[in-house]
Amino acid sequence: MGRLFGTDGVRGLANEGLGPELALHVAAAAAEVLARGRRRAVAVVGRDPRASGEMLEAAVTAGLTAAGVDVLSVGVLPTPAVAYLTAVYDACLGVMISASHNPMPDNGIKIFAAGGHKLDDAVEDRIEELVRRREFIRPTGAGIGRVLSQSGADGHVDDHYSLAGTHERYVEHLIEATGRDLSGLSVVVDCAHGAASDVGPAAYREAGARVVAINAEPNGLNINDRCGSTHLDQVQQAVRDHGADLGLAHDGDADRCLAVDAAGEIIDGDAIMAILALAMHETGALAHDTLVATVMSNLGLHIAMRSAGITVRTTAVGDRYVLEELRRGGFALGGEQSGHVVFPAFGTTGDGVLTGLKLMARMAQTGRGIAELASVVQTVPQVLVNVPVADKAVVAVAPDLLEAVAEAERTLGDTGRVLLRPSGTEDLIRVMVEATDHDRARTLADDLAKRVAAL
């Protein structure tokens, strides 16, 4: 058995790699590690709309209650909402059941500690060890946990935890964080038939924007199906059809946001971070004049930030590493090229809907279109190739492959860079090459990808 936790929780093919038995054991182990010492511990549990989430939520709830933890079941909500509510309800842990941008057959379990913070490696290792040993505390009688759902199914959990208006509470939190009336702006929102299908459009409308929502009718089977932040063609076309000022695209659990401008051109996470960093820099809100990004961010972002007097701190791929650096350095903004953007003043994880609101607030403040705002980043050509492999951990450190990477780096010199890394969520090796000449980047990336595939 390989490492249980990936870049963002436990993930796998639902009912095969990630079945109800594993979900139950992960939840019970998390309860033992994160709820120890609490006389009456509480956990917040939410999910995205994919069909397997119903099964896994039942298993997670069983694992938590079997460990003596009361469960607040908040239903279908974005990942950042579950993190936010974990803090609001002073819960000792939160659990989000979602595979984010992955296809419908996959699912995952994301765990938050008290305050809605993602787990560090040491805590994950402790949970994983308990799962391996299958050794859990099993209270009986009144010590067994109880469940409170949106419908108030049993009513035996403390009244302090009433879940009435939970979704509205999260929307109000987003509006308060936006800080500007968005009247006059029109936006197309692609909800990916995911967790933000209700609260996303509601938040944008509440802020004053005119909203056209697409792919906002989840049926359990259509999440991320040729839509959302990994398939932008629908939102691009809809923006042009409706003459909207911009389009926003979320993923299945809405911790991501990518954008398109009025002409339907894509605005990626690097450009989004640049827009927001400059806005905060102007008002002195960008702590230490520093933006935190991952190694996947384009060289163009680094160049643009350097020109504005902003330092870019880089981390490993995964918003958990961005979060760790934000907390360690007391920074105010960080994110990923994929569209995860984190505002520590307003949340403990990437929040796609909040990102969309902040982008539109900048447009409203400046009176400028998003294309003009994004033009500060001149992207250096980047080629990314995903190569399926049987054992990504072994392939990633193969001596012949490492030498080939070093040779490619010597070829590029100061005109580009090479990044080769195993995916944190899939059996893939990701090969990324940046170079001032696109053809050169493509040639080097394809050559390295062939070497990976041959191993």
Position 153 scores a pLDDT of 45
Token readout for 46 is: 């939410």
**Closest CA relative to residue 20, chosen from 64, 68, 52, 66:** 52
Question: Distance (Å, rounded) from C-alpha 182 to C-alpha 321?
Answer: 32
Residue 423, number of CB atoms within 10 A of its CB? 18
Helix (H) / strand (E) containing 20: helix 20-34
Helix (H) / strand (E) containing 315: strand 311-315
Delimiting residues of CATH 3.40.120.10 domain(s) in the chain: 10-163, 169-374
SS3 384: strand
Token readout for 429 is: 């090796």
Can you list the residues of the chain whose pLDDT is less than 70?
A: 1-2, 150-164
Question: Distance (Å, rounded) from C-alpha 418 to C-alpha 76?
Answer: 39
SS3 453: helix
Active-site residues: which are they?
Answer: 100
Residue 66, number of CB atoms within 10 A of its CB? 18
198 is in an annotated binding site: no
**Phi, psi values for residue 445, rounded to 5°:** -65, -45
Contact between 80 and 349 (Cβ < 8 Å): yes
Residues 419-437 have pLDDT tens digits of 998 887 788 999 999 998 9
Question: Distance (Å, rounded) from C-alpha 121 to C-alpha 9?
Answer: 11
Residue 325, number of CB atoms within 10 A of its CB? 19
The structure's pTM equals 0.88
Position 319 scores a pLDDT of 83
Task: Answer yes or no: CATH 3.40.1390.10 is held by domain 382-454.
Answer: no
Contact between 213 and 254 (Cβ < 8 Å): no
**Closest CA relative to residue 275, chosen from 288, 253, 251, 259:** 259
Position 47 scores a pLDDT of 98
Delimiting residues of CATH 3.30.310.50 domain(s) in the chain: 382-454
Residues 234-263 have pLDDT tens digits of 999 999 999 999 999 999 999 999 999 999
Position 22 scores a pLDDT of 97
SS3 319: helix
Question: Distance (Å, rounded) from C-alpha 124 to C-alpha 31?
Answer: 12
Tell me which CATH homologous superfamily contains domain 169-374: Alpha-D-Glucose-1,6-Bisphosphate, subunit A, domain 3 (3.40.120.10)
* CA-to-CA dists, residue 449 to 7, 62, 102, angstroms: 22, 44, 22
* Mean pLDDT computed over every residue of the chain: 93
Position 151 scores a pLDDT of 53
**Closest CA relative to residue 335, chosen from 80, 4, 121, 5:** 80
**Closest CA relative to residue 27, chosen from 194, 160, 147, 167:** 147
446 is in an annotated binding site: no
Question: Distance (Å, rounded) from C-alpha 211 to C-alpha 34?
Answer: 40
Residue 234, number of CB atoms within 10 A of its CB? 18
Q: Which residues contact 43 (CB under 8 A, 6 or more apart)?
A: 31, 35, 64, 69, 70, 71, 72, 91, 92, 93, 94, 95
Position 207 scores a pLDDT of 97
Contact between 76 and 96 (Cβ < 8 Å): no
414 is in an annotated binding site: no
**Which CATH class for the 10-163 domain?**
alpha beta
Residue found by looking up tokens 């992207």 in the block: 379
Q: DSSP state, 9?
A: B
Residue 367, number of CB atoms within 10 A of its CB? 8
159 is in an annotated binding site: no
